[in-house]
Amino acid sequence: MMPSNSILNSENSLMPCNLCENHDVSILGTRSRSGNPLRTVICKHCGLVWSDPFPHDPKHFYAEEYRLNYKNTYSPKSKHVLRAGKVALGRYQKIKHLLEEKKTILDVGTGGGEFAYLLKSSGHELFGIEPNKGYAEYSVAEYGLNLHIGFIQDSQFSLESFDLITIWHVLEHTEDPFFVLCKLRDLLKPQGVLVVEVPNIEATCQTPKSTFHEAHLFNFNLETLVKMGLKAGLIAQKPIYSEDRGNMTLLFSKALDCVQPAESWFIADNAERISHLVKNHTNLNHFFSTKPYIRFLKRMYRSVSEKVYINRLNKNKRLLDQIYQNAGHVYHEY
């Protein structure tokens, strides 16, 4: 049964909805996971969720955060490389049907470079873009990646130059995700595929207080991401959810006709549905389910097995080579 409209209070947002351009919102949260004030709103017309106002200037935030944390001499600990390498293998699995022949690929938000290195070592022509100088310089030095330093929003890649573009857990951090999707569409070749992975706002695997995060300026569910893609001229294929449904991956192809339809970007009942899920994700419900305990046990197991593994290997590239080979990954040229 759908919840009634009374779950939605009425406020105005400071900025228009990035999907449907309305200002009619409801307050979904007032605190971030760190306990700081963070006004999170949901658009009553389409269900897009965002921090309003943004808690920081996004580009400044990334520069400052990383400068403070890494002082431009980023060098990740082995346990983080191991974890990121396993994540990279999982990502590879999701799209391996797209990698059967040599492709020209752009990885947006390359981070520590583990996924890009996996693609490069598979023989693909790999380009990356990463705004953080420390990360970028590290992954160029460690893995020999072909990287641009900067934000995708400002990048100057040639139009229609990529067979495949991947953007893992980046879109929710950007100040204008619709603009980013339009930009990526323009960079894709006509038959190209865009892979987008974001956290799922409908997930209940995290503790309730962890739902909203200063770094995640936008929060999507399947409906809002599919529709934003459509507005940007991208057709979504079937989504892939992580086991705990905390993340969703969408593969988009280019719409043949880029003319936007005159219909509004209203999504019926989506705001009510998301609000209902978020507001019912209470501590009582969460801790009476098995989810937090399974999550805790998995993390304990991961922590112990990482220590055992890392004791045997220390150089980050060797560590990645080892886990990629153990997973059956073949290093080759097409």
Residues that bind Zn ion (CB under 5 A): 17, 19-20, 43, 45-46, 48
The least distance separating Zn ion from the CB of residue 178, rounded to whole angstroms, comes to 11
Structure tokens at 192: 């190209």
3 state SS of 26: strand
Q: Length of the chain in residues, anyone? A: 334
DSSP-derived letter for residue 256 is S
Residue 214: C-alpha distances to residues 55, 62, 172, 179 (Å) = 6, 12, 11, 21
Q: Which among 180, 129, 134, 186 has a CA at the least distance from the CA of 161?
A: 186
The least distance separating Zn ion from the CB of residue 18, rounded to whole angstroms, comes to 8
84 vs 236 by CB, closer to Zn ion: 236
Alpha carbon distance 85, 114 (integer Å): 6
Contact between 47 and 267 (Cβ < 8 Å): yes
The least distance separating Zn ion from the CB of residue 15, rounded to whole angstroms, comes to 11
Burial bucket for residue 309 (CB in 10 Å: 0-12, 13-18, 19+):
middle
Alpha carbon distance 70, 121 (integer Å): 27
The least distance separating Zn ion from the CB of residue 48, rounded to whole angstroms, comes to 5
Alpha carbon distance 17, 36 (integer Å): 23
268 vs 304 by CB, closer to Zn ion: 268
43 vs 118 by CB, closer to Zn ion: 43
The least distance separating Zn ion from the CB of residue 43, rounded to whole angstroms, comes to 3
251 vs 267 by CB, closer to Zn ion: 267
The least distance separating Zn ion from the CB of residue 4, rounded to whole angstroms, comes to 20
48 vs 181 by CB, closer to Zn ion: 48
Alpha carbon distance 38, 113 (integer Å): 31
42 vs 236 by CB, closer to Zn ion: 42
62 vs 179 by CB, closer to Zn ion: 179
The least distance separating Zn ion from the CB of residue 180, rounded to whole angstroms, comes to 17
The least distance separating Zn ion from the CB of residue 253, rounded to whole angstroms, comes to 24
Q: List 220's β-bridge partners, or say none.
A: 200
DSSP secondary structure of 170-219: -GGGSS-HHHHHHHHHHHEEEEEEEEEEEEBTT--SS-GGGS--TT--EE
The least distance separating Zn ion from the CB of residue 47, rounded to whole angstroms, comes to 7
Structure tokens at 45: 């017309």
- Neighbouring CB atoms inside 10 A of 205's CB total 19
265 vs 324 by CB, closer to Zn ion: 265
Alpha carbon distance 45, 13 (integer Å): 12
126 vs 274 by CB, closer to Zn ion: 274
Alpha carbon distance 93, 91 (integer Å): 5
